[in-house]
Amino acid sequence: MRKVPCLLMGRYELRKVLGKGSFAKVYHARNVETGEEVAIKIMDKDHLAKSGAVPEQVTREIEIMHRVRHPHVVRIHEVMANKKSIFVVMEFVRGGSLDACLIRYAGRGIGEASARRVFQQLVSALEYCHSLGVYHRDIKPDNILIDDTGSIKVADFGLSALVGTAQQEALLHTVCGTPMYLAPEVLLRRGYDGAKADIWACGVVLFALAAGRFPFNRKDTSLYHRIHRCDYHCPPWFSGSLMRLVRRLLCPDPARRITMQQIKETPWFKKGFKEIPQSLGEPEQYDFDSDSENDSTVSLASSSEDVSSPVACVQHCGHSSRMHTSVSAPSLTTFESTSTAAVQGQPRMCRPKSLNAFDIIASSPSLSLSGLFEEPGEQMRFVSSAPVSKILSKLEEIAGHISFMARTKEYHMSIEETNNGNKGALLISAKIFELTPKLIMIRVCKKAGDNTVYQQFCNNQLKPGLYGLEDGLPEDSERIACNYR
């Protein structure tokens, strides 16, 4: 008899362990509903609590996941938790880490052209993160993954520091990261600029890629002396322009160290470089179901099993262990994922997902936990008796009036700004739910971009456009027709 797989949240089949850290294990897993392969980081709450990392570090990581969306940053699908563990479901990057590549090319490097391509993608990803006030602080080959196409994905923001817009000039004081990649000012414990520390680490990675060895490589205290003195030697095959760039990246004085913008202006970097859009990539690759507000359930499950066992806190043989998903949870249930072919070959969408009593209560602003991870006013809800097709058409019309791009998958629409702002392109999610057979709820929320631009869009385009669809509502509908969180 075929063994029934153990399922996490009723849909993730856990496979082999991909890696282990101080507080977590990362598993390769598969979504049994879609067949999609994912990686799941399982963090033990007790271990986190003993380290003093809860709740600040976990909350910070969730905040970062919610904000960072870039083609060269590992995509987060959802975050779940029970009484024992926290589960982070993320994109599975098949090619493994850059560290394995460095081992393969030890002593000779991967070649200057290949090193340039990796470095360009790394700089593009970090420049975007820095624009959001996010500093990685643990850039190293282990945290740089390679996908099937040979492109990189920056992973593991567990040590990241998020600096609010009112504190952009603030200095960080926590010494963290891997010693071999730490900038001199980080080792001095006098406060440091997170962006400059990341740039130093990028310099170490670039050197290692091109040289096949690390610039500072000692296992004793002499490592720190070499870093402070900037004591390294470039191999003879480095070009002059590469040596000059490395020298500016590994400048021990952070005030004189090269900036991200200056890196992009160097002749060595610009060769073959194409600016990467700071959005979600190509339209056909966008996964609407990886909404950071997807599923919710009622209660937390208790488990006595240790996180080292992949069976802990999972469903087995169809008996559920209820769990709580929480990036912006609790929230509403998601849409059905299946659809049937309509007449004349046109696809027909399934009905919107109906909401039960708990879903409706959870959508109340006063009871939602999403305020822990979202800026105020990031979410709106509308109620309408108009046909779903009319609502979708109206949303597309609103987007078209201001040259935004709208993409629809069943009853989930993505509206994206075509021009990037300082905080990246504005990305809006609109979901449609069935309250009753004749009453529809539209939930709109910002997924990425500038909150001010989002508020302007909601006040000037979205609200006026959707208010016209409210005919036929009950007399007290004025109160619930538009609900800002």
- pLDDT tens per residue, range 282-322: 333 323 233 333 333 222 222 333 333 332 333 333 333 33
At 193 the pLDDT is: 81
Q: Please state whether beta strands 427-436 and 340-341 pair in parallel, antiparallel, or not at all (unpaired).
A: unpaired
At 359 the pLDDT is: 46
Domain that holds residue 386: 340-484
- Pick from 270, 300, 325: which residue ends a domain? 270
Q: What is the CATH number of the domain that holds 478?
A: 3.30.310.80
Domain presence at residue 299: no
Residue pLDDT, tens place only, 138-163? 888 888 999 988 899 998 765 454 45
Domain presence at residue 359: yes
Helix 240-249 vs helix 194-211: crossing angle, to nearest 10: 150
Mean pLDDT calculated for residue range 318-347? 32
Q: Is 220 a catalytic residue?
A: no
Percent of the chain with pLDDT over 70: 62
**For residue 9, pLDDT beyond 50:** yes
**Domain co-membership, 184 together with 249:** yes
**Domain co-membership, 74 together with 109:** no
At 470 the pLDDT is: 54
- Pick from 62, 92, 122: which residue ends a domain? 92
Instruction: Using alpha carbons only, give the angle 222, 228, 229 rounded to the nearest 5 degrees.
Output: 90
**For residue 476, pLDDT beyond 80:** no
Residue pLDDT, tens place only, 358-382? 444 444 444 333 333 344 456 778 7
Catalytic residue, candidates 44, 138, 193, 291 = 138
Higher pLDDT, 279 or 14: 14
Q: What is the CATH number of the domain that holds 206?
A: 1.10.510.10
Judged on CB neighbours under 10 Å (0-12, 13-18, 19+), 464 is: exposed
**For residue 72, pLDDT beyond 70:** yes
In the DSSP assignment, the letter for residue 170 is P
Number of H helices, E strands in the chain: 15, 19
Domain count, the chain: 3
Domain presence at residue 312: no
| Token pair 């869009």 in the structure block, residue | 457
**Domain co-membership, 265 together with 210:** yes
For residues 481 and 358, what is the distance between their CA atoms, to the nearest angstrom? 20
**Domain co-membership, 50 together with 32:** yes
What predicted TM-score, i.e. pTM, was given to this entire model?
0.57
Peptide bond connecting 267 to the previous residue in cis, omega within 30 degrees of 0:
no
**Domain co-membership, 74 together with 114:** no
Domain presence at residue 226: yes
Buried b (16+ CB within 10 A) or exposed e, 24-57: bbbbbbbbeeeebebbbbbbbbebbeeeebbeeb
**Domain co-membership, 250 together with 183:** yes
Q: Average pLDDT, whole number, for the chain?
A: 70
* pLDDT band at residue 424 under the 50/70/90 scheme: low
**Domain co-membership, 51 together with 176:** no
Ligand-binding site membership of 41 (annotated) = yes
Higher pLDDT, 367 or 37: 37
